[in-house]
Structure 1
Amino acid sequence: MRPANLLKRAHSHNKQTISNLLHSRGTSPHPQPDLISGHKKVEEEENPNYKPENWYPARLGEILVHRYELVVKLGFGVTATVWLAKDLHADINSGNRKYVTIKINVNILGKEFQDGRRAIAEKLFSANPQHPGYGHVRFMLDTFKVHSKHGEHLCIVYDVLREPIDLCMTKFPHRRFTGSKLRILLPALLQGLDYMHSECRVVHTDLKPDNIMMGLGDPTILDVFVQQEHDHPSPRKAPDNHGRIIYRSRSDLGEAPTEAVIASAKITDIGLAAWGDEKNTKPIQSNAFMAPEVILQAGWSYPADIWNLGVMLFDLLEQIALFDSINTEPDNYRPEQHLGLMISLLGPPPKEFLARCAKAKKYFDADGQFKYPKYVGEDCKFEHAVHRLNPEDKELFIDFVQKMLTWAPEDRWTAKQLLDHPFLTKEREGCWDTPPLSRASTTSVGSMIPSRTGTPGLPPTSAPNNQTIHSNLPARLLELCPSLGSTEAPEPKIERQLSNGSLKAPATDERSASTTTLAQRPKMETLTESKSETDAETPNAKRLSANKQNESSQAMIDAILNRGKAHASKGEPSPTNGSSSKHPERE
């Protein structure tokens, strides 16, 4: 069973599509929502550590900071609820651009965590807008804080995207991607990862279907979506004694995504992202996606994301995923079982790799022999895991994933190299032969700390000049930030923040985002500023449920929340004691 994302959707409660909603209820001019019993736990209330005083009592129709009107609840998770909002400052004729997504966080996130997210967010936004992967990473558009009687809540504003791909693909035949659809999706993901790795020096650490979303496509889709909420209000509970109304989420945006929409996919949710050029050994990744260097504590960096992607492809293509046989529920995950399946697929790990693994002795003896041979299956091979591709595609696909799933991280291909693999290029080049491609040329990572001069296997990148090519920027960012289209050098606001100690320098390159007013660009610097106001028609239920998973991510989230509480108890600055004045994003 798969680990859940930071934010999970209650899609199991919203099986109605836009078309059948039109005919499902009466035509009363004042439709009334269905009420849910106060004795039943709903959505965020189902979180194990839910405390209502930590959550903002958001209500549909509420206007935040005199600008954003909440119109639909999109989702919820361990640390936030997510809402579709109308931007009252946007042009009324701006189509879907008059809507935004707002993530309202709990009031116990620590200042250290917030500052870390801000630094990474700024880097992702500003590193190199000319990179082809820039448009395949989701950015913040604005941030602000709102107040409840129990503290302050950080709010992060994003552009609006469709459902995550694990929900979108349920609308495909057989509820899975075909090989041709994968070849449309994967260039977007690989370009986005290459941007994060080579330009921003950022490791996502939690890449999975929940954290990949697609563009909207039809420019009228949100107007229709909002009208459905008006005509058929989502069920909800009456206010509790903290004033909170718990709404059912609504997330179905209609028909299956077109090829153009699939090609617009973006990587979302940097809530657990980390700098790739630091020494990283802490636990990351959902259990089913955990890379061997993470399990064995060999140190991890960018290749951990590549392993994630390789495992995830089986979730998108097949009814049974690569590591579905392991138990990933809290307290039941057994690393030795996971390692046994890896040995079945990859053969035994190289002794050179085990030599740098802090936990190798727990699972392997001095000769490199696995201590739990009962978990090594003889029938667990890549060839037996792929069923939905023709023979030629199957051969290329297996070779493709084998470039991503290797014991030693330095042996994995980089995102940039994978873009040239024949599984992706054969259709556009009319080629079936596998050209010789060099393996990732990371020098012996030993401790897995890549050089600051470039992503493993990639040449060093040079900083762009101050000119930004207008045509390469997303229309939404140009609308919010016209200065990005100019050739004037940006004001070095971020560098000033670095000099006075408010931010940690994320990398050696000196690119920085320009600073303008809210009307001009996303307010990346305002996080600490206060504003007072074909094979089976039935999906594998275990794998399509995004709600009972992710104990690795959950452990990190719990640690973050506990740090926030500790800061508050010591009187240190935190969002809950007056610091001055953000999947999923359905993240």
Structure 2
Amino acid sequence: MRSSNLLKRAHSHNKQTLSSLLHSRGTSPHPQPDTISGHKLIEEETNPNYKPEHWYPARIGEVLNHRYELLVKLGYGMTATVWLAKNIHADGQSGNRKYVTIKINVNTLGEDFQKGRRAIAEKLFSANPQHPGYAHVRFMLDTFRATTKYGDHLCIVYDVLREPIDLCMKKFPGSRFSCGKLRVLLPALLKGLDYMHSECHVVHTDLKPDNIMMGLGDPNLLDHFVQHEHDHPSPRKAPDSHGRIIYTSCSDFGESPTEAVIASAKITDIGLAAWGDEKNTKPIQSNVFMAPEVILQAGWSYPADIWNLGVMLWDLVENIGLFDSISTEPDHYRPEQHLGLMIALLGPPPKEFLARCAKAKWYFDADGQFKYPKYVAEDCKFEHSIHRMNAEEKDLFIDMAKKMLTWVPEERWTAKQLLEHPFLTKERECYWDTPSLSRASTASVGSLIPSRQGTPGLGPTSVPNGSIHHSSLPVRLLELVPSLASSDATEPRLQRQSTNGSLKASENDEKSTSSSTLPLKPKMETLAESKGESNDETLHKKRSVSVNKSNESSQAMIDAILNRGKNHAPKAPAK
């Protein structure tokens, strides 16, 4: 599978960061950059199919489109180099807004590809600017073409963001997100995904740490960054026979991001995005993030992004990823090994799901038995994969992950539903004072969450008997679990205390609750007509197959919590 990382940073010893440059250059008023040997391949030259005539010969100081002066090379990818540029027509006192990021693509991109990207980009920019997730998706600001004798290069202009989160988190203690920081980051990502899915009907298809970036914060940050690059220019190679200077990348913007900066995170890079309402079966996603419906060719849509995010959580909080044991090299990736790990974590896939998978027979026999049992590692369990959380945090985190990582795509929670999961909404001071939560079914926590409306474009679904309304819950449970309490169904939901102490309010849901199912084929009226059934009958049948059964254990958990509360009640003083 071809690589889809369109913004890869240099990983050689030539990569320069702001902190390293501070201690590696002289103080000459006319500093000269270090020159790298022409015999050493660096940056985009290391791409397997690199041909210099396909890449634009950008030079620092060059002005593109009579407007954008190239200042610093920020990174490179399989099909582009990325640059920090100054908008020379902008107000000089406008702080960071006078700078932009420009992606200069190779000259081999087909016109069809460019039209498809443009249509999706326009939809993302215009669908609904009032949506809370609008601020968490990166948009194009401008496009133009740069021409050489070898062809035209599409140039895309964006606002400037910090380093991707996989670099940012290296500045955190332990080089990973703490639970507190994760609870700041995830709402931004989920709001962005909800906007892409529900408002724009777009599937990102390549969600991973490389493609998530944070805002800048300090309005003077880029002025300092540019001045430093001027005083301490990055190393580079001399021009090659095609006139290209290969600059080394610099993308370190300084200190560890604050919580406000983390909360400004945006989903970037729509180079591989697709329309979610179309029939999609082509391969997507990097190997380690590949969803089961992609591997088995069951057809994919919005839930593939949710699977991506679920797998990515381990890259943010743990030193070992959930599927790190599989090979990520295109020629060494073994789907059967990946499926074996999924079976170890999730149990065997439902036969109903395998029945709709075009490649199921490659890996499963007629009875649904996996053909490669040696790849099912018995010690591969969610509970064994988390080491950096206390018991209560761990239970809620795993429960949330299980809502994202399911065989059947329709059973995964939507981005909007996940925003209401207790891992994100529960006040930290009010953890249940009981170890019984660890022993309870992890599905049971989710059964306490009010269902949310499904992603538009996929068709709403409902839980016939599983929804829990706050009006029917015991008062004691509402005291123990404040996030379950809400006002009347027609009024805004009560405000809750967020992790960092700020208040947040979310709009109340529609009166009718819905399940966590997301049908991949929303046009079910066609199915009903072909079978002579009514739409309602068809909807009921499809829903009954995919309804999450976690609600069955909800009463048991309620009873456990209430009984635990009784056991901890203070004894009456002796008379």
Could you say which TM-score interval applies, normalised by the shorter chain?
0.7 to 0.9
Hey, what does 2:449 align to over in structure 1? 437
Q: What do the CA deviations read for 1:455-513 (whole angstroms, capped 9, x no partner)?
A: 8789xxxxxxxxxxxxxxxxxxxxxxxxxxxxxxxxxxxxxxxxxxxxxxxx99xxxxx
**Residues 404-419 of structure 1 mapped to structure 2, 5 A cutoff:** 404-419=404-419
Distance 2:460 2:316 in 1: 27
Distance 1:223 1:423 in 2: 39
Hey, what does 1:517 align to over in structure 2? none
Distance 2:116 2:3 in 1: 24
Hey, what does 2:183 align to over in structure 1? 183
Q: What do the CA deviations read for 1:70-125 (whole angstroms, capped 9, x no partner)?
A: 00000001110000000001100000001000000001100000000000000000
Contact 2:85 2:102 in 1 (8 A): yes
Which amino acid counterpart does residue 338 of structure 2 have in structure 1? Answer: H
Contact 2:311 2:322 in 1 (8 A): yes
For residue 451 of structure 1, report the CA deviation from its aligned partner.
6.8
User: Normalized against structure 1, the TM-score is what?
Assistant: 0.74
Does residue 145 (structure 1) correspond to residue 145 (structure 2)? The answer is yes
Identity across matched positions, percent: 80
Distance 2:249 2:345 in 1: 39
Which amino acid counterpart does residue 97 of structure 1 have in structure 2? Answer: R
Instruction: Answer 1 or 2: higher relative contact order, Cα 8 Å, separation at least 6.
Output: 1
| Bigger shift: residues 181-190 or 16-25 | 16-25
CA 1:353–1:137 in structure 2 vs 1: closer, same or farther (change >3 Å)? same
| SS of residue matched to 2:218 | coil
CA 1:441–1:371 in structure 2 vs 1: closer, same or farther (change >3 Å)? farther
Distance 2:17 2:272 in 1: 32
Q: What do the CA deviations read for 1:258-295 (whole angstroms, capped 9, x no partner)?
A: 00000000000000000000000000000000000000
Hey, what does 1:344 align to over in structure 2? 344
Hey, what does 1:286 align to over in structure 2? 286
Contact 1:146 1:155 in 2 (8 A): yes
For residue 191 of structure 1, report the CA deviation from its aligned partner.
0.2
Distance 2:452 2:284 in 1: 22
Hey, what does 2:298 align to over in structure 1? 298
Gaps of 5+ in 2: 438-444, 464-521, 524-575
Count matched residues: 452
For residue 322 of structure 1, report the CA deviation from its aligned partner.
0.2
CA 1:440–1:407 in structure 2 vs 1: closer, same or farther (change >3 Å)? farther
Contact 1:287 1:333 in 2 (8 A): yes
Does residue 452 (structure 1) correspond to residue 457 (structure 2)? The answer is yes
CA 1:53–1:457 in structure 2 vs 1: closer, same or farther (change >3 Å)? farther
For residue 429 of structure 1, report the CA deviation from its aligned partner.
8.7
Contact 1:414 1:457 in 2 (8 A): no
CA 1:196–1:78 in structure 2 vs 1: closer, same or farther (change >3 Å)? same
Contact 1:345 1:382 in 2 (8 A): yes
Contact 1:277 1:451 in 2 (8 A): no
CA 1:156–1:84 in structure 2 vs 1: closer, same or farther (change >3 Å)? same
Contact 2:15 2:249 in 1 (8 A): no
Contact 1:176 1:316 in 2 (8 A): yes
Contact 1:137 1:268 in 2 (8 A): yes
Q: Report which of the two structures shows the higher radius of gyration computed on alpha carbons.
A: 2
For residue 452 of structure 1, report the CA deviation from its aligned partner.
2.8
Which amino acid counterpart does residue 109 of structure 2 have in structure 1? Answer: L
Which amino acid counterpart does residue 214 of structure 2 have in structure 1? Answer: M
Contact 2:4 2:272 in 1 (8 A): no
| SS of residue matched to 1:403 | helix
Hey, what does 2:53 align to over in structure 1? 53
Distance 2:458 2:298 in 1: 22
Distance 1:252 1:456 in 2: 45
Q: What do the CA deviations read for 1:192-219 (whole angstroms, capped 9, x no partner)?
A: 0000000000000000000000000111
Which amino acid counterpart does residue 357 of structure 2 have in structure 1? Answer: C
CA 1:408–1:47 in structure 2 vs 1: closer, same or farther (change >3 Å)? same
Hey, what does 2:385 align to over in structure 1? 385
Q: What do the CA deviations read for 1:281-315 (whole angstroms, capped 9, x no partner)?
A: 00000000000000000000000000000000000
Hey, what does 1:40 align to over in structure 2? 40
Contact 1:133 1:193 in 2 (8 A): yes
**Residues 205-220 of structure 1 mapped to structure 2, 5 A cutoff:** 205-220=205-220
CA 1:23–1:361 in structure 2 vs 1: closer, same or farther (change >3 Å)? closer
**Residues 68-87 of structure 1 mapped to structure 2, 5 A cutoff:** 68-87=68-87
User: Normalized against structure 2, the TM-score is what?
Assistant: 0.76
Distance 2:283 2:261 in 1: 34
Hey, what does 1:502 align to over in structure 2? none
For residue 248 of structure 1, report the CA deviation from its aligned partner.
0.4
CA 1:290–1:453 in structure 2 vs 1: closer, same or farther (change >3 Å)? closer
Distance 1:457 1:276 in 2: 21
CA 1:451–1:129 in structure 2 vs 1: closer, same or farther (change >3 Å)? closer
Contact 1:406 1:412 in 2 (8 A): yes
For residue 163 of structure 1, report the CA deviation from its aligned partner.
0.2
Distance 2:460 2:137 in 1: 17
For residue 27 of structure 1, report the CA deviation from its aligned partner.
1.1
Distance 1:20 1:41 in 2: 22
For residue 437 of structure 1, report the CA deviation from its aligned partner.
2.8
CA 1:23–1:451 in structure 2 vs 1: closer, same or farther (change >3 Å)? closer
Contact 2:4 2:285 in 1 (8 A): no
Distance 2:456 2:350 in 1: 23
CA 1:233–1:457 in structure 2 vs 1: closer, same or farther (change >3 Å)? farther
Distance 2:210 2:105 in 1: 18
Hey, what does 2:399 align to over in structure 1? 399
Contact 2:15 2:250 in 1 (8 A): no
Contact 1:425 1:431 in 2 (8 A): no
